[in-house]
Each structure stands twice: as structure tokens, then as C-alpha cells.
Structure 1
Amino acid sequence: MDKIEEQLRLQVYLARCGVGSRRKCEEYISEGRVSVNGKSVLTPGTKVSDGDEVCYNGRPVHPEKEHVYIALHKPSGFICSNQDRDGRPLAIDLLSDATHRRLFNVGRLDYMTSGLLFFTNDGDFSKLMTHPSSHVEKEYVVTTKKEIPGELMEQFKKGISVQGEFFRLKNYTFKGTRTVHIVLEEGKNKELRKVFLSRNITLKSIHRIRVGNIKLTGLASGRFRKLTPREVEQLKNQALENKKNNRGKPKR
């Protein structure tokens, strides 16, 4: 096992092993899929040290020596998970030829949403990209079956509540009466679907075309590419700068 110079919380250690994001690793621990020194551990936050044997699904895991960062053009009809009880196609299976390393998705796109999605084995990168305080921009093209009211977009920009959840976009640009580009910073679960359906506006498609400084341009549906070291550094630096600039500001 690679030496751990200090005690780490179990979910942090698992994330550094490429098992998943810290949040996902907390779920795995709670589900009883993780053991330390042969004993099942159900409590996230448990500390591990150099010399401890950590297993996930019965197999020892170790910190990744090399991090991988991949951009995928996810088609609609693929699920962001490492397994699906209903047998639906998995987005990660599109990366079968990318690397032998264990990868996981950074955030997610729902089943019918297409577009740019990152995969990595770097848990710290995943946390930075998905934490609300990082304010990483995600740009979507939303197409509907009927005209989109400008008044709805203005309300969405000011902040709108749907069944007790609060949503707010950062910016929007109409590209027609039924197509709008929307920029989100946080991007809650099925946020766009919930906002439009609250006004009985049926969606034809949601397509993510940008995350931070990375655009989907030139990447065909179902295809992927590795992010360059410069692109990864730019993503990290922008997220860290956003965290710094927004530190101490009241939450919206």
C-alpha cells in the first residue's frame, strides 16, 4: 500500500483510490461495501492510516499514482452509474477502451440529457468541480415543444421555487422561440426539467455544451477525449478563484 503520511477520513481515502467522488464513497460505506483490516465499516469519517488494508467490494484498493481526466459526449439514453438494475446502457461503458483504471463520472447528466460529461479517478478534482462554492459554469441548450415565455426565464434568473426547491440560473440567451441557452453554476438534480415542467412546458431535449472552460465542440456523440494538463489546471484554477471570490458572501 502507498504510504499515508497522515490519517485520512475513509471516504477521502477511497476517493483518492478512484473508487468514486467523496459523496459517492460515503454512500458505499453506508451500504456496507467497504472494510478496513477485514472488518466492515459503516461510518463515513472513520480514519485510516498507513498499514491499514482497505477493501471495496472485497477487493483491496490503493491510492492512484496517475490521475486520468476524460471528456465524454454522452448520448441521451445512457445512465450515469457504474451499474443499473434495469439494465439500461451505462455512460461509463463508452470509455471501455480509454484506460484500464477505475473511473467515475464528475457530477451527472440524467438519463435523457446528452452532452459534455467528465470522468476521472481523482476524487479531489471531482469534489472541486461539483461543490456549489466552486461556481463552475455549465451551459445547456434547452429545446421545448412550445414557445418559452420570456417571463419564465426572467423569474428563473431572479430565483424560482418549485415544490419547495429553489433554483436560479446565471444567464440565458434565446436562440429562437423554442430554444434557449442556459448557464447554471450549481445544477441541482433535474433542475431544468423541474423548472420547465412546473409551467407545463414539455422538453424535447437538454444538451450540455460546456463545463467551465471546456466546450463540447468537435466531439461526436458517444466519443471521448482526454483533457490536457493545461485544461485540467485551468478548470482547477478557475474553481479555486471562484471559491476565493465568493468566500464570506451570503448563500443565494
Structure 2
Amino acid sequence: MDAADSSEKTRLQAYLAHCGVASRRASEQIILDGRVAVNGQTVTELGTKVGEGDKVTVDGKPVHLESRKCYVLLNKPAGFVCSASDEKGRQVAADLLRDSYKERLYNVGRLDMYSKGMILFTNDGDFAAKLSHPSSQIEKEYIVETSQDVSPETAALLEHGVRVDNVFYKCVRCEVLKPRKIKIILIEGKNREIRKMLESQNIGTRSLVRVRIGNVNLDDLRPGEHRDLTEKEIKGLLQLCKKIIATRIRNA
């Protein structure tokens, strides 16, 4: 790899993100795991830079910059995992998009295997990084059907926050729609957060569906179906990130 003219070179993790391999943060881990080679040599240094003439491979397969940026909304059915591949042989959500997109798309955020609803996919590393950054705090709305009644008092408790296994969980809002149906809004999205909060109150989860991310709604998209985000939706999500970060700075 020629080290000259490094001003035209790009950090390897950013290059992988722009190739649609994974988000920038996930690409860093892929590099650290020794899965990336540049010009035939395995690279594990995150500061490595690559240019136009360099050959980059991931798991032995060449990757290339993609000219078209994709922003996709998928209504994930239950039973699919949100990862590039699964060592246990489970169905991967990204496989539902492969017939429609030749680009390598990766999920922005996650839903656990048993949860359903909105998941975003992209090959734009900058877009994914902004939405995934903890400071973005974009609202995510869920409709949850439970195995036991949820009282207004329990809903208020979840808004106040509960501690489970020394981890603090708190929702922005919990609204009881029916005795066994609630709407929950989160801005964090810790692993299995809603299920753990409910389980702490001895309430089981029968169905969990994410119906909104920021300004984007699931609407009438059926399970397994997908659509491209509109320009308005893409700009709206990015504007939400900027607005929230600016508010946090003013209030600091």
C-alpha cells in the first residue's frame, strides 16, 4: 500500500462503511477481528488508510465503494435476527432484502429475534453512525401485547424507571391502550429493554412491534415487506439527530 499522498486516502473503517459492509463502528470490530486484508495483507490497525488503487477484502471477498446510497425500511417478522450472518443458522433479516438490492445493506440498530416491526437498513456509513450514536436519542415507539394486565400505576413506574440486574431501564412514555396492550416510547434501546422492564413487574410479553422511529412510521407495511425511505424521511431523521444534540449542548 503506497503511503504517499495520504490526503486522498480514507480510514479503513470509513471505507468499509461506504462499501456497505457495516456501520463504521461495526467495521472497526471487523478490522480488529482480523477479517480485513489490504493488498493481500491482513490489517488490524484502525488508523490504516486506503486509497483508490488498494484492493480491500473482507473474509477473502473483495469489497468496492458503492455509488448508490440506499435507505430501506423493513417490517421484520418474528424469527429473524438482526446481524450480517448467524453462526446458529437462524434466519437473517437482511436476507429479506437480497432479491431487491444488489448493494450490501446492514441494519441500523436491532430488534431481538422474537420482536417484530421497523428496522432500518442502509449502506451509508455516515447516516448509520449519526442515527446509532447514543447522543441522537431518537424516539422509538412500540406496541406491546402482554400476558397480564398493565395498570396505570405500573405504566407510571416504567416511566419513572426500574433497576434490573443492576441496570437502570426507563421509558419516555408508557400508555395503557387496553388492560393487556400498551404503547411504549424509548430513546435508548438497551438489549431486550422492554421485556426486562415488564418481567421485573412479573408481566410477560406476548407480542412486541416497533411502529415508529423518529419521524418514520410503519403504517400499513406488512411483515416481510420493505420500502425505500423518502427524501423527506431521510432528511427528517438527520435533522432530529442535529436538533437533539443541539438541545443537549444548550442544556449542558
TM-score (norm: length of structure 1): 0.91
Q: 2:217 aligns with which of 211, 215, 221?
A: 215
Deviation of residue 62 (structure 1)?
A: 2.6
Counterpart check, 1:99 vs 2:89: no
- Aligned-partner Cα distance in 2 for 1:103–1:139: 23
Deviation of residue 91 (structure 1)?
A: 1.0
Q: Which residue of 1 aligns with 2:86?
A: 84
Residue by residue over 1:58-77, the C-alpha shift from the partner in whole angstroms, topping out at 9 and shown as x without a partner, is 23323222100111110111
Residue by residue over 1:202-238, the C-alpha shift from the partner in whole angstroms, topping out at 9 and shown as x without a partner, is 1101100001111111101111111112211111111
Q: 1:162 aligns with which of 154, 158, 164?
A: 164
Q: Secondary structure at the match of 2:81?
A: coil
Deviation of residue 93 (structure 1)?
A: 1.2
Deviation of residue 89 (structure 1)?
A: 1.5
- Aligned-partner Cα distance in 2 for 1:202–1:41: 46
- Aligned-partner Cα distance in 1 for 2:43–2:185: 40
Counterpart check, 1:176 vs 2:203: no
Q: Which residue of 2 aligns with 1:236?
A: 238
- Aligned-partner Cα distance in 1 for 2:60–2:111: 29
- Aligned-partner Cα distance in 2 for 1:61–1:4: 20
Q: Greater CA deviation, 84-93 or 221-230?
A: 84-93
Paired residues of 1:157 and 1:169 also in contact (CA < 8 A)? yes
- Aligned-partner Cα distance in 2 for 1:183–1:170: 5
Classify 1:45/1:149 alpha carbon distance in 2 versus 1 (closer, same or farther; 3 Å): farther
Deviation of residue 150 (structure 1)?
A: 2.9
Q: Secondary structure at the match of 1:82?
A: coil
Q: Which residue of 1 aligns with 2:65?
A: 63
Question: Superposed, which structure 2 residues align to 1:22-61 within 5 Å?
Answer: 22-61=24-63
Paired residues of 1:29 and 1:44 also in contact (CA < 8 A)? yes
Q: Which residue of 2 aligns with 1:153?
A: 155
Paired residues of 2:158 and 2:171 also in contact (CA < 8 A)? yes
Q: Secondary structure at the match of 1:219?
A: coil
Q: Which residue of 2 aligns with 1:246?
A: 248
- Aligned-partner Cα distance in 1 for 2:30–2:225: 29
Paired residues of 2:108 and 2:120 also in contact (CA < 8 A)? yes
Paired residues of 1:4 and 1:50 also in contact (CA < 8 A)? no
Paired residues of 1:130 and 1:186 also in contact (CA < 8 A)? no
- Aligned-partner Cα distance in 1 for 2:62–2:251: 42
Q: 1:8 aligns with which of 7, 10, 13?
A: 10
- Aligned-partner Cα distance in 2 for 1:93–1:61: 19
Classify 1:155/1:6 alpha carbon distance in 2 versus 1 (closer, same or farther; 3 Å): farther
- Aligned-partner Cα distance in 1 for 2:244–2:32: 32
Q: Which blocks of at least 5 consecutive residues in structure 1 are unaligned?
A: none
Classify 1:230/1:4 alpha carbon distance in 2 versus 1 (closer, same or farther; 3 Å): farther
- Aligned-partner Cα distance in 1 for 2:109–2:167: 19
Classify 1:6/1:154 alpha carbon distance in 2 versus 1 (closer, same or farther; 3 Å): farther
Counterpart check, 1:187 vs 2:196: no
Which amino acid in the other structure matches residue 167 of structure 2? Answer: E
Q: Which residue of 2 aligns with 1:113?
A: 115
Q: Greater CA deviation, 191-200 or 181-190?
A: 191-200
- Aligned-partner Cα distance in 2 for 1:178–1:66: 44
Residue by residue over 1:152-190, the C-alpha shift from the partner in whole angstroms, topping out at 9 and shown as x without a partner, is 332322232211212221112110111110111121111
Q: Secondary structure at the match of 1:186?
A: coil
Q: Which blocks of at least 5 consecutive residues in structure 2 are unaligned?
A: none
Q: Greater CA deviation, 23-32 or 73-82?
A: 23-32
Work out the number of aligned pairs and report it: 248
Which amino acid in the other structure matches residue 192 of structure 1? Answer: I
